[in-house]
Structure 1
Amino acid sequence: IYLFYIPNCIPLKSPVPHLVLQLDPTATPSYLGWVVAAYSLGQLIASPFFGGWANLRRSSREPLTASLIMTVLFNVLYMYLQSIPDKPQVYMIVARGLVGFSAGHTAVVRSYISAATTLKERTACMANVSIFQAVGFILGPVIQTCMVPLHFPGPVESPSLHINMYTAPAMFASILAVINLLLVMFVFKEHKVGGLEEAGVANSKLLDVTEESKPDLVGVLSTIFLFFVILFMFTVFETIGTPLTMHMYAWTKTEATLYQGIILGASAASSIVVFVIVKILVKRINERYLLLAGLVISLGAFFLFIPWGPSLPPLAFIRRSTSTTSSTKSTTPPSTTTIAPANRTVSPEGCPWQYSWCRHVPALPLFQYLAATLVFSVGYPMCQMLSYTIFSKILGSQPQGVWMGWITAAGSLARTVGPIYVSQVYDKSGPQATFGSVAGVIFLTIIFYLVMFRRLVPCKSTADREN
């Protein structure tokens, strides 16, 4: 069941450069934000749907099978965007939205794990889920990096098939989805544990037990809000990485894809170590205190992301082309003039001239960016894993498909809002305003968390029965 997270994470890093280089080289950052957000918008719609389906049928197999079939079909559609002659930009958004819709099974997976574990087992199992999700995020950038030698155009470019550095990850994700589909059909067997079946509780009494387990609605909604903020800060970090490194370090699009893939892969690898450590710490320290520590560490990371240095980022060239027109065809090629102020570093790539903040916002040193990424790689995994665990325990022994759908939808909403927020704030005000504002949001969230701290406890009836 853990393998479901891997195919969904692999193609996440490819759509933006795919659109820029292949479909619309003139696409604006604001439009690219909508492209990235389309995936999460699709998952936002699908998560409550698949969660409700699992609750209604009291089975996880059907929604999981349907979502995997969708994953294969919609990734194939993404691969063939180059072959669509009319408005491929629109189809890019549609394809990403549909791939996101197929990822709605995330709610079903976590709901099944909640039903198949006791309170004592749940934290470790949720940690395992997060580890496999981190493996997916490792494979995504790593596979994208491994596909860079395919270049664009790739070795196979025809109307019937496109294999290049941007479509190959989607092809690989489709293959993994097919493998998962076969495992669900022929290997996967559902088990409902929670201590009830093993204790010999009859199915006729299961509904009575569920009705007794009334979770604290305030705690449930508070955890959903916390999860929204946690995913929002991750989405800002994930979305801003490529344009930030291109603007601050004058990396080309290919270099940004390669180096950012390595950075994110290393970040995901370090998060696996964090998950393992947290699995050990929860035996001695309450999850709520560890979640608080994760939020504080994430706040420190975003404060560290704020550039404070004395130097300015390198400015990109501005090229103006002029040509001579006459009644006859001119054989003189256009002339190109590079315009730049005195005493400023200029390069073919760098901070765009149309961004006014490039002329006064300090540059972010590479070592500071890497250090902040490392700190965030410790704080975010703690928050992500423990928020799910606390949420599951608050819900108790009732079927959790719908509620897991809503918390997943909250995360998808954050992943929808995040890229749009970055495209607006970063374009107009730069990294100082972007990272500073997110740090302010995290600070206010910590205060909210402290106010709600006593409400984020396991459902009493479930804890009493298991004790």
Structure 2
Amino acid sequence: MESDTQPIVQGKTVWSSIYIAAALSFVGAVQFSLYFSALWPYMRILDADITETFYGWTVFVYSFGQVLSAPGFGWWSNKVKMVRPPLYCGLFLMFFGNFIYILMEIISGVPKRFVLMLCRFIIGMGSGNVATLRSYASTASSLEDRSKAIAYVTCGQAIGMTMGPAFQFIFTQLKYPGPAPFGLSLNLYTTPAYLACLMNVLGAVALYRYFEEVYAIDLIDDDEEDDEKEAPPSIPMYDIIAVLVCYASRFTDMFVRTNLETLGSPYSMMMFSLDEVHSVRYLSLAQGIVGALTFSTYIAYINFDMEKIVPLRPSCLIALGLMLIFHLITYPWSFLGNYVLPLNGTTGCDASRFSWCAELTQVNVYIYYGSYVLLIGTAFPLLTITLTTLFSKILGPRRQGTQQGLFQAASAIGRMIAPVSASALYTGYGPRAVWQMEIAVVGVVLAAWFLFYRKMVEMKIPRRIENNCFGVSTKHKSLDEHLHRLLAVSLKRLTSPKAQFKSKRVPFITPYHD
């Protein structure tokens, strides 16, 4: 266990802490998708006044809370020079939000839909600590281990987003309202909140007992004077167009993902005339299989050199193409023979509310879920890992905090816009309008990739500048070799007539600058 004192600096990666960071990333991400298949039917039971549009706003506030809290967590971490305090705070907020969700059925005097919105907002604020985990992985890993370390944390986040419904599928065997120990129901709708609370407690225990806040480089604070350290040689400017295409691709990834998860339950109940229990069960099973495919994809990229088999650029194109094919296959084309069934209880299409019910054709249930598992289950993890890796290489060997923050912001914006726009279109014009919107978004991004394909490459840096940027060559493995190399570099700089050293320390690795 690492004490809450100033973090230790050493020149190697402490993998145990990277593993804890990946696990905490999983805990934060799983709480975004853990409720998706159960939220809608549960709220229909507790609050009959909830609408699809309000449900979209409920999903929106999760991402809004994350956008508000993530910069604050980052500033806090930089101020105290530790990541542990903001991580504790994030875990507490997620625990508190889930606990309110458990109490929601016994809270009186306030419409339940507003209580649900408050829960999701608090949980979203807590999950903002995921950005702190990515920042830690970037600075706690040595240069040769950095890509692998970031892959672990990204893998934890991606698997958490897709495995949430798998946990929900396990709980579908429970009945509603179920037993009520201490006056609180234990059923297929509330059990995910109990699991989330347990995960947050276990995450806090792991953070306290097993997490060592150790860094692989000697970090320079932002408030240090620029003239206190030797300015490193400048490196080429990254290609702005390539970076913008990456932002758009990240936005599209989260935009499509969130739309499918948000509308999954009401869409299946309307399109396939499934009741609440079967809707939750089938959707959870499909997304659970997607989670297994996601896990397999990340294992392959962590253990094998997949870039040599399928390079990064073609992989991104394949993933975006699979998204487009999925929407074309599952689109309710007018030439399909069957039409959706009219409302019968809580299943079917309510023609009294939706004018588009009479003309909506029915998509085959097996084609929908089969293509969802195969196409979406391949596209999402493939795009996440290859786009993140390519984006880092496009930026080159520099501090990437600002650009990575904007990259994450593009994801959050997609997550915020998706549920609101999709819910509004779904209510007013039906699923055809939602599918048309997603086909247009994916199509525009694919067109940008083909148009600027030659720009989507790793930054090329002259060897002389690359060596000077790192200061200490990473090919020297032993401690003695590192010390000899560091001494030689220091003496050379001290004897140089242009050297101006006012700093009281020499960084283990000269930091990059934007």
Q: TM-score, normalised by structure 2?
A: 0.75
The residue number in structure 1 matching 2:365 is 366
Q: Distance in 2 between matches of 1:362 and 1:156?
A: 42
1:414-453 equivalences under 5 Å are 414-453=414-453
Whether the aligned pair in 2 keeps the contact of 1:71 and 1:103 (CA below 8 Å) is yes
Alpha-carbon RMSD:
3.1
Which one of 186, 190, 194 corresponds to residue 163 of structure 1?
Answer: 186
The residue number in structure 1 matching 2:24 is 4
Q: Distance in 2 between matches of 1:102 and 1:69?
A: 7
The residue number in structure 1 matching 2:167 is 143
1:224-235 equivalences under 5 Å are 224-235=247-258
1:169: Cα distance to partner?
Answer: 1.0
The residue number in structure 1 matching 2:350 is 352
SS of 1:349's equivalent in the other structure is coil
The residue number in structure 1 matching 2:260 is 237
1:2: Cα distance to partner?
Answer: 0.9
The residue number in structure 1 matching 2:197 is 174
Q: Distance in 2 between matches of 1:438 and 1:257?
A: 24
Q: Tell me, which stretches of 5 or more residues in structure 2 are unaligned?
A: 1-20, 475-514
1:30: Cα distance to partner?
Answer: 0.8
1:208-223 equivalences under 5 Å are 212=234, 216=238, 218=240, 219-223=242-246
SS of 2:347's equivalent in the other structure is coil
Q: Distance in 2 between matches of 1:73 and 1:429?
A: 37
1:271: Cα distance to partner?
Answer: 2.0
Greater shift, 274-283 or 61-70, is seen at 274-283
Whether the aligned pair in 1 keeps the contact of 2:252 and 2:442 (CA below 8 Å) is yes
**In structure 2, what residue type is equivalent to 1:352?**
D
The residue number in structure 1 matching 2:339 is 312
1:269: Cα distance to partner?
Answer: 1.0
The residue number in structure 2 matching 1:129 is 153
The residue number in structure 1 matching 2:486 is none
**In structure 2, what residue type is equivalent to 1:444?**
V
The residue number in structure 2 matching 1:332 is none
1:56-95 equivalences under 5 Å are 56-87=79-110, 88-95=112-119
Once the two structures are superposed, what CA deviation does each residue of 1:388-428 show, in whole Å capped at 9, x if it has no partner?
A: 22333445555555544443332222112111122111222
1:378: Cα distance to partner?
Answer: 0.8
**In structure 2, what residue type is equivalent to 1:379?**
A
Q: 1:31/1:316 Cα in 2 relative to 1: closer, same or farther (>3 Å)?
A: same
1:288: Cα distance to partner?
Answer: 2.8
Q: Distance in 1 between matches of 2:287 and 2:322?
A: 18
Q: Tell me, which stretches of 5 or more residues in structure 1 are unaligned?
A: 318-346
Of structures 1 and 2, the one with the larger relative CO (CA 8 A, separation 6+) is 1
Whether the aligned pair in 1 keeps the contact of 2:248 and 2:445 (CA below 8 Å) is no
Q: Distance in 2 between matches of 1:292 and 1:138?
A: 21
How many residue pairs are counted as aligned between the two chains?
Answer: 430
**In structure 2, what residue type is equivalent to 1:359?**
A
Whether the aligned pair in 1 keeps the contact of 2:40 and 2:265 (CA below 8 Å) is no
Which one of 245, 252, 274 corresponds to residue 251 of structure 1?
Answer: 274
Q: Distance in 2 between matches of 1:208 and 1:91?
A: 54
Q: Distance in 1 between matches of 2:376 and 2:45?
A: 30
1:28: Cα distance to partner?
Answer: 1.1
The residue number in structure 2 matching 1:282 is 307
Q: Does 1:114 align with 2:138?
A: yes
**In structure 1, what residue type is equivalent to 2:71?**
P
Whether the aligned pair in 1 keeps the contact of 2:43 and 2:113 (CA below 8 Å) is yes
Whether the aligned pair in 2 keeps the contact of 1:67 and 1:104 (CA below 8 Å) is yes
1:245: Cα distance to partner?
Answer: 1.2
**In structure 2, what residue type is equivalent to 1:224?**
Y
The residue number in structure 2 matching 1:15 is 39
Q: Distance in 2 between matches of 1:93 and 1:348?
A: 23
Q: Distance in 1 between matches of 2:326 and 2:402?
A: 33
**In structure 1, what residue type is equivalent to 2:415?**
R
Q: Distance in 2 between matches of 1:223 and 1:58?
A: 30
